Amino acid sequence: MRPITAPINRNSQGSEVTNLQDGLLLLLLRQRIQVSDGDRQEYQAGIRREQVAQVYDDFTEKVVAIFQKQVGLETTGEVNEPTAEALNKILKELGAFDPDQPEQFFV
């Protein structure tokens, strides 16, 4: 996994989006984005569907907004510089950028 770069939003597609979605899936799995178990399963399934299509759609936007709210950022649902920095800080703590980590996280 690579560090998240901004901006990423609903108009974004491709590898930067799938990289973001890898990070979101890891944060959901490690419960660094705190949601109920039912919501976690729903969000993970939705993000995986969007990841296959390499699109930033409803589930990605929703989980980004939840993350923003939980860390005290403006809740836009889009990845701006402060959001990318906050995501990268936590992902780094989790070892997501270590070269021995797999490129994608599957749950």
Whether 77 and 13 have beta carbons less than 8 Å apart is answered as no
Nearest residue to 20 (alpha-carbon basis) of 60, 73, 66: 60
Distance between CA atoms of residues 98 and 92, nearest Å: 8
Question: Each residue of 90-101: pLDDT tens digit?
Answer: 999 999 998 765
Question: Each residue of 53-70: pLDDT tens digit?
Answer: 999 999 999 999 999 999
Which two three-digit tokens encode residue 78? 């889009």
Q: Delimit the domains of the chain by residue range.
A: 15-93
> Rounded mean pLDDT of 74-79?
97
How confident is the model at residue 98, as a pLDDT? 83
pTM above the 0.85 mark? yes
| Site of tokens 């901004």 | 6
